[in-house]
Amino acid sequence: MTEDQRLYLDESQVFCPSCGEPQTLVIDSAAAIEESIAEYTEDCSVCCRPMVVTVTYVNDGDYIVQARSENE
């Protein structure tokens, strides 16, 4: 990973929708240039249940991160 690529990686905290434990996620803020919404599935590091993570990019690199269970 180059220095330029690291500049676009941010951390964001969400709470697992299954167990309620905080999760720190690495967000690629460079993706805001190419798309307005990114969605992916990631397993909780505590309970191992899958959560759907939605990253909505707004205003010059800012973003909103939300997590929900797969069943919602």
CB atoms within 10 A of CB 53: 19
pLDDT at 4: 52
The closest of 67, 72, 37 to 52, measured between CA atoms, is 67
The model's pLDDT over 30-55, given as tens digits with 9 standing for 90+, comes to 665 566 888 889 999 999 999 999 98
pLDDT at 8: 72
Domain boundaries, the chain: 3-69
Q: Based on C-alpha coordinates, what's the Rg of the chain? A: 13
pLDDT confidence band for 28 (50 / 70 / 90): confident
**What percentage of the chain carries pLDDT values higher than 90?**
44
Q: What is the pTM of this model?
A: 0.77
